[in-house]
Amino acid sequence: MTGPAELLDEISRLRARTRADRHAYVPPLFLFGVLVLLAPLWAEGGPRRFEAGPVGFGTPLQLYWLAAVVGGFLATAAWYLHRGTRSGVRTPIRGYLAIGLVGVLAISLGFPVVESFAYRVERSPFAQPSFTIPVAAAALLALGGVLWLRPKLRHPGIATAAAMVFGLVALAMLDLRFAPVRPYAPLVTIALGLIGLAWLERSRVLGVISGLFAAAALLANVYNAQNVFFHLGVFARYEGEATMAFTNTLLPGLVLLAGGAFAAWHERRARA
Residues 115-134 have pLDDT tens digits of 555 555 566 666 677 777 88
Single out the residue of 176, 173, 171, 201 nearest to residue 188, CA to CA: 171
Q: Give CA–CA dist 38/40, Å, rounded.
A: 6
Single out the residue of 169, 43, 153 nearest to residue 109, CA to CA: 169
Q: Give CA–CA dist 104/126, Å, rounded.
A: 22
Query: Model confidence over 2-57: pLDDT tens digits?
Result: 556 555 555 455 455 555 555 688 999 999 999 999 998 887 755 555 555 555 55
What is the mean pLDDT of each successive set of 10 residues along the chain, which is 272 residues long?
A: 54 51 81 94 65 60 83 88 72 73 69 57 66 83 81 73 79 68 78 84 89 92 79 70 86 95 85 62
What are the C-alpha distances in Å from 84 to residues 26, 81, 126, 205, 218?
14, 5, 45, 20, 32
pTM of the model: 0.77
Q: Give CA–CA dist 177/195, Å, rounded.
A: 23
In angstroms and rounded to an integer, the radius of gyration of the C-alpha atoms of the chain is 21
Contact call for residues 197 and 210 (beta carbons, < 8 A): yes
3-class SS at 180? coil
